[in-house]
Amino acid sequence: QVQLVESGGGLVQPGGSLRLSCAASGTSFSIARMGWYRQAPGRQRELVAVISKNGSPIYADAVKGRFTISRDSAKTTVYLQMNSLKVEDTAVYYCNYYVTTHYWGQGTQVTVSS
């Protein structure tokens, strides 16, 4: 069974940085597309970034140039490095695993506030 455990969220001031991690177990990590999505209060869940099994990333326009997604196959972990954080980046961030079915982590809160 696929399990995804996120970590690294927290409170940060505007302009600051955070790195999220998602450790995957029970998975075919090497062939999975991994991703990060977020959901702010009162809004739908939206894509932040995804990375293919070959390491090719895709970013939402809102985070291009500020966020970087990466994956470590040896650790079966995907990361999201978030720099130059803005108040509007505040949301619960969810890790996603996809081969033929989507699996989700429990989410980690990111709050950007002064």
Instruction: Say whether pLDDT at 7 is over 90.
Output: yes
**CA atoms in the 13 A half-sphere facing the CB of 11:** 2
Tens of pLDDT along 29-67? Answer: 889 999 999 999 999 999 999 999 999 999 999 999 999
Query: What 3-state DSSP class applies to 14?
Result: coil
Tokens of 43: 């809004």
**Angstrom distance (rounded) from CA 31 to CA 11:** 33
What pLDDT sits at residue 21?
Answer: 98
69-105 pLDDT tens trace: 999 999 999 999 999 999 999 999 999 999 999 999 9
> What does 32-95 look like in DSSP terms, one character per residue?
-EEEEEEE-TTS--EEEEEE-TT--EEE-GGGTTTEEEEEETTTTEEEEEE-S--GGG-EEEEE
